[in-house]
Structure 1
Amino acid sequence: MFLLNTHPDHRKPLLPEDAETLGAAGAAAVESQIRQRENYAVTPLHDLPALAAELGIGAVSIKDEGHRLGLGSFKALGGSYVVVRLVLEEASRQLGRAVDIAELQTPEVRAVAGRMTFSCATDGNHGRSVAQGAQLVGAQAAIFVHSGVSEERIAAIARFGATMIRAEGTYDDSVAEAARVSAEKGWSVVSDTSWPGYERIPGLVMQGYTALVAEALRQMPEPPTHVFVQVGVGGIASAVAAHFALVLGEKRPVFVAVDPARAACMFESARAGEPVKAEVGEPTVMAMLDCYEPSLVAWRILSRVADAFMTVEDADAVAVMNRLARPAGHDPVVVAGESGGAGLAGLIVAAADPAIRSKLALDATSRVFVVNTEGATDPARYAELVHGGRSASGVSSKPAG
């Protein structure tokens, strides 16, 4: 499904608070913090010329977040960034003076952090980031997971010392449960989705994601003409779209928000003209995007700076995983998890449809930017979908018997 953005707010300026958070200054603040991390490195931007030629467009560039800060996902830029920021803010309040990132490991600041607990709900990647951030500063983490989160992803979070809490129902149910329990216990919720009265922290999480766009703009010889990014609750899509719009202004690229067909909360909101909950059905294979209620902050941003909304099928996402694992020509191998290549899947679907190509002005001069938002964060699932149940080395990932 595809539709152009016809919302009355389309192409209107972002709200001042969103512009302040997601512009160049916000990205610079994030980069200043993450450069202090021991495993900091700029993630690669790969060109895919063989794929671009097949699609009849000028260029495809993919930012590979599968290498980000040891977590294998763009989420490493969000949750842990906010945890560190909140600890520094609380330390400044308690100590009665400004506390800098250089003091993060001092006894005084670690004593403050040691009395703090950070919580969130997660499909997997965001929880890892929050837990990693808590471990980094010496705080506690309580991570809520719903029944659809795999044991492998739960173990990946727990290894950072987080307390894991099971919640019944969907991701959205776990968000509500995390908010309820955290309010009772006085924990600090670091959510990547927002609701009425809870907007600042999700905005800061999205600010974290702008760092990847700032990096990409420095890596590109010239800015893209088109951008396709996957949605979920909307944090990554709105951060990328907003940063491009704020930095490039009238020269910003055409932005397309891509939802899984089975969890199309932003697409359905665009169709309705207001935030709506998508119908809950069979879970999508794109596990990190299996969300049915959009973030309110993300909606108000995308209603202004997204130019189109579309959906892709599970089969499209799996096909992209396999294409990136076994590329044509001299395109590099890119390891993309189930949700990682959803934006690229959107481009491939759009490029194959003459009507959509025309509406988006996709042609032989187009330069398209996409984000691989995760690597193989669930190795067993990746092996199943890409290697027929075998790891890349050819060893079966399935249990014997």
Structure 2
Amino acid sequence: MLFSNPHATREAYPESLQHIMCIKQADESRRWLSTWNQLSATATPLWDLVDLAKQLNVGQICVKDESVRSPLGSFKALGAPIALVRLILRLFPQKNFNPQALLAGEYRDQLGSFTAISATDGNHGRALAAAAQSVGCRCVIVLHANVSVEREQAIAAYGAEIVRITGNYDESVERAATLARENQWHVVSDTSYEGYEVIPRDVMQGYGTIAAEIIEVSETSRHAGHPFTHLFVQGGVGGLAAGLVSYFWERYGADRPIVVMVEPVQADCLYQSALKGRAAHATGSVDSVMAGLACGETSPLAWKFLSESVDHFMLINDSDAVGAMRLLAAGSGNDVPVVGGESGVAGLAGLINLVGVPAHAEKVGLNKNSRVLVINTEGATAPSVYEELVGESAESVQQRQQAWLRIHKPC
């Protein structure tokens, strides 16, 4: 299913949005995170999938590989930590905390009674737990019924206290908010709701690091304007897309790439938002193998950025994601094998799906000259699930990747 957004614009980045998120703040967040020991000291790879581009009859496909951003296994390592740091700085201005020293744990003796709480599908909670452990504060994570035990254990490994509920993700968000009110804890969520926008803004701003790295690597391209013509990005509540698109939009204005939003058919909150022209709820069961995208309600704050910057919205099936996981893992003579998690491959799955319908490809302007960017947002954050779906362990794929790299060079 494909819907072309009638409200998409090629105008310059609006000043009203720049007051909320801007490149200056994103770059500041990047500097603060640069010394955190849970992040890679170097930029994540931008892989050039030459064979796949030929197969799909497009000019170029590059995959920004966030699976190796951090031991945490996903791009969320850029959002939760910076939001926690900025929250603490706002709450304790008289302390004059240094942001990088906070993440190094130098003020843990002053933050032992401070508690951060959040609901999660897995990756955000894991990143928040790791950040809280580094800072030296307490962390409580609320998990809904569909979060696997494997993901729960990965979060608990960073010292977080786990609260389990029987409902879905949106109900876990409500439970986290209730517990925060009752106990005077502080919600560090990656989705906004009425009266709660500052922290989700900080989370989204952290994702600007991904855009900055892409620009640094690819701006030497001979192409005018943005080095990519298309960006296929996965949905969820919209935070990642807002963080990326706002950065590209401010930097390139009318030359920003064509943006295609990709979601599971059963978690279509952004698709429904586009249809209705406002932040809306999903119409499906919100139960997808793409666990990180199994969100039932669009972040109203993210929608402020996406409503005019996403050109097309599309839906994919779980089987499309599994097929893309296997394709990335397989690699080829010219394409490096990559560990892409269930949610991580959604953008690529959307591209493959769309190219398979010529009328849709034409509608979004995909052709042999198109330069396509996708983001692999996670690795095997649930290793047993990954192995079951791909038929090969993540470790095995990584070994084949290293063998490939010995005779090839990345994009």
Q: Same fold (TM over 0.5)?
A: yes
Output the CA distance in 1 between the equivalents of 2:206 and 2:165: 27
Partner of 2:2: 2
- 1:62 maps to amino acid: V
Output the CA distance in 2 between the equivalents of 1:102 and 1:299: 31
Partner of 2:115: 117
Gaps of 5+ in 2: 222-226, 398-411
Output the CA distance in 2 between the equivalents of 1:106 and 1:148: 33
- 1:291 maps to amino acid: C
Partner of 2:92: 91
Which residue of the other structure, out of 213, 220, 234, is the alignment partner of 1:215? 213
How far the C-alpha of 1:327 sits from its partner, in A, is: 1.7
Superposition pairs for residues 229-268 of structure 1, below 5 Å? 229-268=233-272
**1:69 to 1:351, Cα distance in 2 relative to 1, 3 A:** same
Confirm or deny: 8 A CA contact 1:227 1:370 kept in the other structure. Answer: yes
How far the C-alpha of 1:33 sits from its partner, in A, is: 0.9
Aligned residues: 389
How far the C-alpha of 1:293 sits from its partner, in A, is: 0.6
Which stretch shows the higher mean deviation, 27-36 or 15-24?
A: 15-24
Output the CA distance in 1 between the equivalents of 2:311 and 2:340: 25
Partner of 1:49: 50
Partner of 1:399: none
Partner of 2:29: 30
Superposition pairs for residues 319-358 of structure 1, below 5 Å? 319-358=323-362
Partner of 1:398: none
Output the CA distance in 1 between the equivalents of 2:21 and 2:149: 34
Which residue of the other structure, out of 300, 306, 314, is the alignment partner of 1:296? 300
Partner of 2:194: 196
Output the CA distance in 2 between the equivalents of 1:280 and 1:108: 46
- 1:371 maps to amino acid: I
TM-score by length of structure 2 reads: 0.90
Partner of 1:313: 317
Secondary structure of the corresponding residue to residue 241 of structure 2: helix
Confirm or deny: 8 A CA contact 1:91 1:112 kept in the other structure. Answer: no
How far the C-alpha of 1:15 sits from its partner, in A, is: 5.7
How far the C-alpha of 1:34 sits from its partner, in A, is: 1.2
Secondary structure of the corresponding residue to residue 240 of structure 1: helix
Q: Percent identity?
A: 43
2:282 aligned with 1:283, yes or no? no
Confirm or deny: 8 A CA contact 1:27 1:210 kept in the other structure. Answer: yes
Output the CA distance in 1 between the equivalents of 2:128 and 2:185: 13
TM-score by length of structure 1 reads: 0.92
Superposition pairs for residues 382-401 of structure 1, below 5 Å? 382-387=386-391, 393=396
Output the CA distance in 2 between the equivalents of 1:360 and 1:201: 34
Confirm or deny: 8 A CA contact 2:229 2:372 kept in the other structure. Answer: yes
How far the C-alpha of 1:209 sits from its partner, in A, is: 0.7
Which stretch shows the higher mean deviation, 268-277 or 256-265?
A: 268-277
- 1:25 maps to amino acid: K
Partner of 2:181: 183
How far the C-alpha of 1:114 sits from its partner, in A, is: 1.7
Which stretch shows the higher mean deviation, 119-128 or 270-279?
A: 270-279
How far the C-alpha of 1:276 sits from its partner, in A, is: 1.8
